[in-house]
Amino acid sequence: MMDAMFPAAASEHAGEIDNMIDAVHYLMLVLFIVWGAFFLYTLMRFRAARNPKADYVGVKSKASTVGEVLVAIAEGVLLLGFSIPMWAERVDEIPSEADSTVVRVVAQQFAWNVWYPGADGVFGEADPYLTDEATNPIGLDRDGAGADDIWTVNQLHLPVDKAAIIHLTSKDVIHSFNLPNMRIKQDAIPGLSIPVWFVPTKTTVQIREETGNPDYVYEIACAQLCGNSHYSMRGFLTVHTEEEFQAWLDEEASYLGDSGTDDFFN
C-alpha cells in the first residue's frame, strides 16, 4: 500500500520491514474507519434535534470489549510475529566477519569517515591525538596494522549480495547513520562502537536502471541533530559487483604512499 512512498528498497531485509509497516498501516486504517464510521453515525443519529431526550444507560453491548481484545491480539501478533524476531535478526544474528565486508564509519561534524582495514583485513589503531582534520580525520596510526588501511570521506563502497558489517562510532557528538534505501538507521555515539549490518541486493547500476534515473544515488543521511550543518551531512553509498569492489579497493590502496599518509583525498 505504502510502497510508492518509501525510498527504493535495496537490501535483503528491506522487504520485510516494508511489509510490516504496510501491515501496521492496514490495521490503523481499519481501526480509524471503524471508529470514524461509528463516530459520524453517532453524531448525526444522536444530535439534540433528532434525539431530544438522552438515554441514561447508553450502550449495553460488550462489543467494545471485543474490539479492545482484537486490538490487543493484533498488537501481539505484530510484536511476537514480526517486530521482535526482525529486531533479533538485526542485532543478534550478525554474520561472521569472515564472510562479510567489514567497515568502520566514524562520524563527525559534518561528515562520514569511512575506514577499511586494507589488504591485511585488520584495522589499525586510532589515537585522538593523531587527528588532523585535513590529513588524518580518524586519527589513524600508520604504524602496525594501520599501514594499509584505507579511509574516505562521505564515500562508502560495498559489494552487492554480501553482508556488510559497519562498526559505527563518532568523534564528537551523536549522529545517526541513515541509509534510507537499505532500511538502516543507527545512531553513531561517541565512546561506543555499534555494529550494524545489512546485505545490499542491488548495485548502483541496477538501481539506476530500475528507477530509470541515471543519476540515482544511494544517500547516507544524518538523522540526529548534530549541529548547524546537520542538514547537509550527506554521504554516498556505491554498491558494486564483487569484481568492481575489489578493483576499487585496489585502486584506493595504490594511492597509499610509502610514508603511509594518503593525502590524496584532500
| 231: contact with another protein by CB under 8 A | yes
In the shown chain, the binding pattern of residues 236 to 265 toward another protein, with x for contact by CB under 8 A and - for none, equals ------------------------------
The count of other CB atoms within 10 Å of the CB of residue 95 is: 13
Out of 102, 103, 107, 108, which residue is the one contacting another protein (CB under 8 A)? Answer: 108
Q: Classify residue 235 as exposed, middle or buried by CB count within 10 Å of its CB (0-12, 13-18, 19+).
A: buried
Selected binder of another protein within 221, 238, 241, 265 (CB under 8 A): 221
- Which listed residue (119, 223, 238, 253) binds another protein by CB under 8 A? 223
Q: Which is nearer to another protein, 83 or 241 (CB)?
A: 83
φ, ψ for residue 104, nearest 5 deg: -110, 140
Q: Does 51 sit near another protein (CB under 8 A)?
A: yes
Q: How far apart are the first and last CA of the chain?
A: 45
Phi and psi dihedrals of 240, rounded to 5? -110, 170
Q: Which of residues 139-178 bind another protein (CB under 8 A)?
A: 139, 171-174, 176, 178
12 near another protein, rule: CB under 8 A: no
Query: Can you tell me the distance from the alpha carbon of 188 to that of 178, in angstroms, rounded to the nearest whole number?
Result: 10
Q: Does 219 bind another protein (CB under 8 A)?
A: yes
CA–CA gap between residue 171 and residue 175 (Å, rounded): 10
194 to 213, contacts with another protein by CB under 8 A? 194
Q: Cell match 595504490: residue? A: 254
Beta carbons of 138 and 113 less than 8 angstroms apart: yes
The nearest distance, CB 89 to another protein, in angstroms, is 9
186 binds another protein (CB under 8 A): yes
Q: Got the DSSP string for 66-88?
A: HHHHHHHHHHHHIIIIIIHHHHH
Interaction of residue 96 with another protein, rule CB under 8 A: no
**Cα–Cα distance measured from residue 46 to residue 53, given in angstroms and rounded to the nearest whole number:** 9
Closer to another protein at the Cβ: 52 or 212?
A: 52
CB of 246 to another protein, least distance (A): 28
Q: Which of 152, 203, 204, 224 lies at the binding interface for another protein (CB under 8 A)?
A: 224
